[in-house]
Amino acid sequence: GQNIDQPTEMTATEGAIVQINCTYQTSGFNGLFWYQQHAGEAPTFLSYNVLDGLEEKGRFSSFLSRSKGYSYLLLKELQMKDSASYLCAGMDSNYQLIWGAGTKLIIKP
Amino acid sequence: GAVVSQHPSRVICKSGTSVKIECRSLDFQATTMFWYRQFPKKSLMLMATSNEGSKATYEQGVEKDKFLINHASLTLSTLTVTSAHPEDSSFYICSAGYREYEQFFGPGTRLTVL
* Residue-level pLDDT at B101: 60
B45 to A18, A109, B42, B91, B103: CA distances (angstroms): 27, 34, 8, 11, 15
Rounded to the nearest 5 percent, the helix, strand and coil shares of chain B are 5, 55, 40
Average of pLDDT values for B95-111?
80
Q: Which pLDDT band, with edges at 50, 70 and 90, does B99 fall under?
A: low
Mean pLDDT of chain A: 92
B73 to A39, A96, B52, B59, B69: CA distances (angstroms): 31, 21, 6, 22, 12
What's the DSSP call for residue A93? T
B75 to A74, B29, B53, B94: CA distances (angstroms): 35, 5, 12, 12
Query: Is the separation of the CB atoms in A24 and A69 below 8 Å?
Result: yes
Please report, in angstroms and rounded to a whole number, the separation of the first and last CA atoms in chain A. 40
Average of pLDDT values for B7-17?
95
Question: Per mean pLDDT, which range of A60-64, A69-73, A96-100, B38-42 is the poorest?
Answer: B38-42
Average of pLDDT values for A19-26?
96
Look at phi and psi of residue B16 and say left if phi exceeds 0, alpha if psi is from -120 to 50, else beta. left
* Residue-level pLDDT at A83: 96
Residue from the list A41, A48, A99 with its beta carbon closest to the beta carbon of B107: A41
* Residue-level pLDDT at B104: 83
Interface residue A90 vs chain B (CB under 8 A): no
CA gap B110, A81 in Å, rounded: 23
Chain A residues in contact with B43 (beta carbon < 8 A): 4, 87, 99-102
Query: Is the separation of the CB atoms in B105 and A44 below 8 Å?
Result: yes
CA gap B22, A95 in Å, rounded: 23
- What does the pLDDT look like over A4-21, one tens digit per residue? 999 999 999 999 999 999
CA gap B107, B114 in Å, rounded: 23
Chain A residues in contact with B44 (beta carbon < 8 A): 43, 87, 97, 99
Residue from the list A43, A87, A95 with its beta carbon closest to the beta carbon of B100: A95
Chain A residues in contact with B106 (beta carbon < 8 A): 42
Average of pLDDT values for A24-53?
90
Residue B1 pLDDT > 70: no
Mutate to test the interface with B, among A5, A97, A103 (most CBs of B within 10 A): A97
Q: Which pLDDT band, with edges at 50, 70 and 90, does B41 fall under?
A: low
CA gap A76, A79 in Å, rounded: 9
